[in-house]
């Protein structure tokens, strides 16, 4: 296993962003930049030995900071926070104090605000160990950052092993109570972006969703998936019932299993390539987003060009006491882990 470090481009501040290329002896390659903690590429073989990048991303920093990209921002591969997903009207009350965050997604706050962790140049330290290689990113999110309370020290560790597992470990501590919800926003396309993702097969270990109102905010109840287009309890294609949904899938699934327990929660596969991804996490929820709003950039991508499997806490949790707690307090440690395991099935059928 190896880690290679190279320059990725200059920030507007003239700081140098870096690219960390992780590779194992099976030929799996994962590329991560310390700008936004973005996974720019996951290069893997199909059943015939052809290698493709199976995540949506770019080869250079200037594409991630261009006006074209930022004006229709799809968060390709980035770390999202301080609170990933939506907060209703950007408002919440914590310990009797009211907070107003930026509103950057219709009437709501999304993925940490105007300058979330996705646009931060993180400090980086290379990890080389016997059983894994990787990079640990760190960042101090200061009190008042995007109007959130508390100085939060963050560490996100990406690592790759010989089992073809990309592990993402999130760690955070704070000096004031604050809501926190971190995720990675990679979009997967197992055809290597040769086709849209509606033909991918998907299975999710979930019996319920958190239904939303017209502004994409959970209404605070749980709803069973049985008999609805949201039922992925058995393996089926993403597109099988998607014509019943105007803009495809973009909602939170309540994952089976105990809080904090690492367990398998989803499997994404594509028959022609034989590629598959198994998803494991300690998180309670997963946002399934099939990318209706992905823009065409550099003559590629567009609607349904990738599917995001964002393991996280539920949207608008700071305003929903019935949802799992997302407030981190001094003396506590935020710890969550997600694993994406990449594989290829050589036989026909998945």
Which of 146, 270, 276, 310 does the annotation list as catalytic?
310
Catalytic-residue membership of 208: no
How many angstroms separate the CA atoms of 111 and 4, rounded? Answer: 30
Of 108, 77, 80, 82, the closest CA to residue 326 belongs to 82
CA torsion through residues 117, 40, 250, 335, sign: negative
d(CA 198, CA 202): 10
| Six token digits for residue 243 | 């014509």
In angstroms, the CA 76 to CA 61 distance is 12
Assign 3-state DSSP to the chain and report helix, strand, coil percentages, each to 5.
Answer: 5, 45, 50
- Label residue 146 left, alpha or beta by phi (over 0 means left) and psi (-120 to 50 means alpha): left
Sheet of strand 152-160: strand arrangement: 123-128, 133-141, 152-160, 165-174, 334-344, 275-281, 263-269, 201-204, 236-237
Q: Where do runs of H (alpha helix) occur along 40-114?
A: 61-64, 67-70
Q: Is 313 assigned a catalytic role?
A: no
User: Whole-angstrom Cα distance, residue 212 to residue 251?
Assistant: 8
In angstroms, the CA 349 to CA 42 distance is 23
CB neighbours (10 Å) of residue 107? 12
Q: Could you say which of 111, 139, 185, 313 is catalytic?
A: 185
- CA dist 234 and 256 (Å) reads 14
For the chain, the first-to-last Cα distance in angstroms comes to 29
User: By the 8 A CB rule, do 181 and 313 touch?
Assistant: yes
Question: Would you name the residues annotated as active-site residues?
Answer: 185, 310
């Amino acid at each position: 296993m190896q880690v290679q470090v190279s320059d990725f481009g200059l920030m507007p501040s003239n700081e140098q962003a870096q690219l960390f290329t992780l590779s194992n002896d099976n030929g799996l390659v994962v590329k991560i930049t310390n700008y936004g903690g973005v996974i720019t590429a996951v290069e893997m073989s199909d059943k015939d030995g052809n290698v493709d990048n199976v995540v949506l991303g770019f080869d250079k920093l200037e594409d991630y900071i261009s006006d074209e990209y930022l004006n229709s921002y799809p968060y390709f591969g980035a770390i999202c926070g301080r609170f990933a997903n939506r907060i209703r009207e950007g408002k919440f009350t914590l310990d009797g104090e009211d907070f107003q965050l930026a509103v950057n997604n219709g009437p709501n706050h999304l993925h940490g605000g105007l300058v979330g962790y996705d646009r931060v140049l993180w400090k980086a330290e290379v990890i080389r160990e016997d059983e894994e290689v990787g990079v640990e990113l760190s960042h101090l999110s200061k009190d008042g950052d995007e109007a959130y309370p508390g100085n939060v020290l963050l560490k996100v560790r990406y690592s790759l092993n010989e089992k073809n597992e990309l592990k993402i470990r999130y760690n955070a501590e704070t000096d004031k109570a604050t809501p926190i919800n971190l995720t990675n926003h990679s979009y997967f396309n197992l055809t290597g972006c040769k086709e849209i993702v509606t033909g991918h097969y998907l299975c999710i270990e979930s019996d319920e969703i958190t239904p939303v109102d017209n502004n994409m905010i959970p209404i605070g109840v749980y709803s069973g998936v049985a008999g609805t287009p949201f039922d992925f309890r058995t393996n089926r294609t993403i597109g099988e019932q998607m014509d019943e949904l105007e803009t495809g899938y973009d909602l939170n699934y309540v994952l089976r299993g105990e809080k904090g327990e690492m367990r398998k929660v989803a499997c994404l596969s594509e028959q022609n390539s034989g590629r598959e991804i198994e998803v494991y996490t300690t998180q309670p929820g997963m946002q399934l987003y099939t990318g209706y709003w992905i823009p065409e950039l550099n003559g590629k991508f567009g609607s349904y060009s990738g599917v995001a499997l964002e393991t996280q806490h539920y949207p608008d949790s700071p305003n929903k006491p019935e949802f799992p707690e997302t407030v981190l307090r001094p003396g506590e440690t935020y710890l969550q882990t997600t694993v994406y395991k990449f594989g290829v099935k050589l036989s026909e059928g998945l």
